[in-house]
């Protein structure tokens, strides 16, 4: 296991880091956890977390997967992009405050150009959510962002 703080693994800061911890990871998958706090950034008035935030929980788990692998290799954590999701399904409209959610991401595909697909699941007692995330991590993010900035200036 690792003791890396999530802030060192994710390209997020402050309240935008929604996960609490990494439970485990290996070459193909990651398990993370979140206890739903009633006063979070996206919470509803009753303290629950809307189910659609599950997509962000899955995306942050995938980002943590990439961050863990970068740190293992001694590389910096780099920016990645959530391109979209397919078949997001959840059996609840919101995750109740106090729920301990376990997020599991499994790499289905990742190519040399940075395109990837992850099968993701969220589980807790009485809660099941799943989605397939399409992600993109450019090989050289700073050059990629500069190229896009230049093309938008034209």
pTM of the entire predicted model: 0.89
CA distances from 131 to 69, 73, 121 (A): 22, 28, 7
Inter-residue contact 124 to 100 (CB < 8 Å): yes
pLDDT at 124: 98
* Helical segments of 38-137, H only: 53-72
The DSSP call for residue 9 is T
**pLDDT for res 129:** 98
d(CA 19, CA 36): 9
CATH superfamily of domain region 6-153: Hotdog Thioesterase (3.10.129.10)
Give residue limits of the domains in the chain: 6-153
The tens-digit pLDDT sequence of the chain (154 residues) is 567 889 888 877 788 899 999 999 999 999 999 999 999 999 999 999 999 999 999 999 999 999 999 999 999 888 899 999 989 999 999 999 999 999 999 999 988 888 999 999 999 999 999 999 999 988 766 665 666 666 666 6
């Amino acid at each position: 296991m690792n003791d890396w703080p999530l802030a060192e693994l994710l390209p997020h800061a402050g309240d935008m880091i929604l996960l609490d911890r990494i439970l485990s990871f290996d070459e193909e998958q990651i398990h993370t956890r979140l206890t739903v706090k009633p006063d979070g950034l996206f919470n509803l008035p009753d303290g629950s977390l809307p189910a659609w935030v599950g997509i962000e929980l899955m995306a942050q788990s995938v980002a943590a997967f990439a961050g863990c692998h970068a740190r293992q290799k001694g590389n910096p954590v780099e920016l990645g992009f959530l391109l979209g999701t397919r078949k997001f399904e959840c059996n609840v409209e919101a995750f109740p405050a106090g729920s301990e959610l376990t997020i599991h991401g499994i790499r289905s595909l990742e190519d040399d150009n940075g395109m990837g697909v992850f099968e993701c699941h969220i589980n807790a007692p009485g809660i099941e959510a799943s989605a397939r995330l399409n992600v993109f991590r450019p090989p050289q993010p700073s050059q990629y962002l500069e190229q896009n900035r230049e093309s938008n200036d034209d």
